[in-house]
Amino acid sequence: MTEKTVTRFMYALIIVGLSISAFGVGLVIFTDIVTGQGVNGIATVAGLIAGGLFLSIPAKIYLTLQLMKRNDEKVRERRERGEIR
């Protein structure tokens, strides 16, 4: 996989993860699944929220590291050209 493909995949993981987490929060707010289902309802909602965060957080970390790497390369190029010290 190229770096661009991996980056797009990570953005997709963030979107999917946040959607799953939002669905879990929506279940808590707009339904009575927690009170109606008891412990199973709580486990379902907690699983959705945790699963969504589990997908999105590593992708955010990867994208942050890629952004820092690109920024370091730009700064290095500017130093080589003598624009900054």
Give the whole-number percent of the chain exceeding pLDDT 70: 99
pLDDT at 85: 65
Token pair for 57: 């957080």
Number of domains comprising the chain: 1
What is the torsion angle, in degrees rounded to the nearest 10, for the CA atoms of residue 51, residue 54, residue 56 and residue 60? 170
Is 53 a member of any domain? yes
What SS3 class is residue 5?
helix
> Residue 45 sits in which domain range?
3-80
Is 85 a member of any domain? no
User: What contacts 46, CB < 8 A, 6 or more positions away?
Assistant: 24
pLDDT one-digit tens code per residue, 26-56: 999 999 988 888 899 999 999 999 999 999 9
Nearest residue to 14 (alpha-carbon basis) of 64, 46, 53, 65: 53
- Please give the average per-residue pLDDT across 18-33, as a whole number: 94
Amino acid at 49: I
Is 69 a member of any domain? yes
Is 36 a member of any domain? yes
pLDDT at 34: 83
Whole-model pTM?
0.80
Is 26 a member of any domain? yes
pLDDT one-digit tens code per residue, 60-83: 999 999 999 999 999 999 888 887
